[in-house]
């Protein structure tokens, strides 16, 4: 089985010397680049017309990237093509598929810490219980939440990792690694409940091809498909619902269930609810916050809960932090609940706090 060059191959090791080739789109940008390279003190030349080549070592590359970000506009960074080639290697047509825009390359250099976390498999999973709203001591499922581990052993937040991954075009790599790690650690933890595994649909081109490593990890685990729920993250950013439907159909054909997050965020979530018909929806944390005392949130959340009930979709209210929020959600028909009021994400999977029903 061939490896996916997009999501299973990390950027080259930046600890080695190399040659950075730059192909700016305009003569004006080329002049600006020359001034930046003179300022950097790094040796550079013109191997072919309209292309600049600069010799860099790791520290020089990092410093140069900061100068490039400071000296070029965002549009110039985006339009300039770039590739870093090992020193002594020829740069020919075979390298063209590996060229990228300079904005992405500088983001990769800035995100070297993230590449190292993935390369060294310094990823871990924290589990947060999803409980029966009416009976919180009954755990229906655990959501798998990604964390990184820095060089000192501290935790790196998913927000920091996914933010860097988007800038550096590493979302494919991180999302695949997160799915695989969730499956491995859920299996290792011996969970008997259902398992929610997040995925970002923009990180998947063709589900039959891109999800092979995910399916392989499940096959080698003790998790049965009917216990796994694949949760669409950042549903408000989805632009191609037909592509998402192909992914969800692929999961369903494998016996898995699917969940849609952020119900109540914009019109897109309601459109997706109609077109995708998920097994679960997550009531957005922004609606759950103050739902017991804010009349606008109260009205919207109540209507969405009624709508989900009419459609036969199970609702998970996420972000529950107070007893008042929980009691309001129970009274208005929420099926499941999740949040700090019951338990914070942890490893091993935590037992939810005792709540007086």
- Spell out a b/e string for 48-76, using b for 16 or more CB atoms within 10 Å of the CB, else e: eeeebbbebeeebbebbbebbbebbeeeb
Answer whether 147's CB lies under 8 Å from 123's CB. Answer: yes
* pLDDT in the model for residue 2: 47
Answer whether 140's CB lies under 8 Å from 131's CB. Answer: yes
* pLDDT in the model for residue 232: 87
Strand, coil or helix: what is 310? Answer: helix
* pLDDT in the model for residue 59: 78
User: Could you tell me the pLDDT band of residue 270, with boundaries at 50, 70 and 90?
Assistant: confident
Domains assigned to the chain: 18-110 (3.30.70), 119-338 (3.20.20.450)
pLDDT tens digits, residue range 183-194? 999 999 999 999
d(CA 294, CA 179) in angstroms, rounded, equals 36
- H or E segment at 304? helix 295-311
Q: Express as a percent the part of the chain with pLDDT over 90.
A: 64
Residue 227: is the preceding peptide bond cis (ω within 30°)? no
Strand 228-232 versus strand 194-199 pairing type:
parallel
Tally of residues, the chain: 357
* pLDDT in the model for residue 263: 73
**pLDDT at 240 > cutoff 80:** no
Query: Residue 348's CB: how many other CB atoms inside 10 A?
Result: 12
**pLDDT at 313 > cutoff 90:** yes
Which residue would you say has higher pLDDT here, 39 or 12? 39
Average pLDDT for 298-317: 93
* pLDDT in the model for residue 1: 44
* pLDDT in the model for residue 348: 94
Q: DSSP letters along 115-133, please?
A: HHHHHTT-EEEEEEEEEES
Residue 331 structure tokens: 């009274």
pLDDT tens digits, residue range 87-110? 777 766 667 777 889 999 999 999
Residues 6+ apart with CB under 8 A from 68: 33, 36, 77, 102, 106
d(CA 278, CA 245) in angstroms, rounded, equals 10
Identify the bridge partners of residue 315 per DSSP, sorted by sequence position.
281
Residue with tokens 């965002």: 74
Residue 190 structure tokens: 């011996």
* pLDDT in the model for residue 237: 60
pLDDT tens digits, residue range 180-219? 999 999 999 999 999 999 988 877 777 766 678 888 889 8
Which of 188, 221, 214, 162 lies closest to 349, judged by CA?
188
Residue 352 structure tokens: 């939810």
pLDDT tens digits, residue range 129-166? 999 999 999 999 999 999 999 999 999 999 999 999 99
- pTM for this prediction: 0.87
């Amino acid at each position: 089985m061939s490896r996916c060059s997009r999501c299973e191959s990390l950027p080259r090791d930046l600890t080695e010397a190399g040659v950075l080739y730059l192909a700016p789109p305009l003569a004006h940008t080329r002049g600006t680049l020359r001034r930046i390279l003179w300022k950097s003190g790094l040796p550079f030349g013109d191997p072919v017309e309209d292309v600049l080549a600069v010799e860099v070592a790791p520290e020089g590359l990092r410093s140069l990237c900061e100068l490039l970000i400071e000296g070029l506009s965002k549009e110039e960074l985006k339009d300039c093509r770039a590739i870093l080639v090992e020193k002594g290697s020829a740069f020919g047509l075979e390298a063209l598929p590996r060229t990228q825009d300079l904005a992405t390359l500088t983001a990769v250099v800035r995100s070297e810490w993230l590449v190292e976390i993935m390369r060294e498999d310094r990823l871990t999973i924290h589990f947060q219980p999803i409980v029966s709203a009416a009976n919180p001591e009954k755990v229906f499922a655990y959501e798998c939440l990604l964390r990184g581990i820095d060089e000192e052993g501290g935790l790196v937040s998913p927000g920091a990792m996914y933010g860097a991954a988007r800038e550096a075009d590493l979302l494919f790599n991180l999302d695949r690694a997160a799915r695989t790690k969730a499956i491995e650690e859920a299996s290792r933890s011996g969970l008997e409940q259902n398992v929610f595994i997040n995925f970002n649909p923009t990180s998947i081109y063709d589900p039959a091809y891109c999800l092979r490593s995910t399916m392989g990890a499940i096959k080698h685990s003790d998790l049965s498909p009917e216990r796994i729920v694949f949760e669409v993250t950042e549903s408000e950013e989805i632009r191609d619902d037909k592509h998402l439907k192909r992914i969800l159909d692929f999961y369903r054909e494998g016996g898995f269930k699917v969940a849609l997050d952020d119900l109540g965020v914009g019109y897109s979530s309601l459109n997706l609810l109609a077109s995708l018909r998920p097994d679960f929806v997550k009531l957005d944390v922004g609606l759950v916050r103050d739902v017991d005392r804010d009349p606008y949130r109260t009205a919207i959340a109540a209507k969405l809960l009624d709508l989900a009930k009419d459609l036969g979709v199970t609702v998970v209210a996420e972000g529950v932090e107070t007893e008042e929020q929980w009691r309001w959600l129970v009274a208005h028909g929420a099926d499941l609940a999740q949040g700090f009021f019951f338990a914070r994400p942890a490893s091993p999977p935590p037992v939810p706090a005792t709540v007086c029903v």
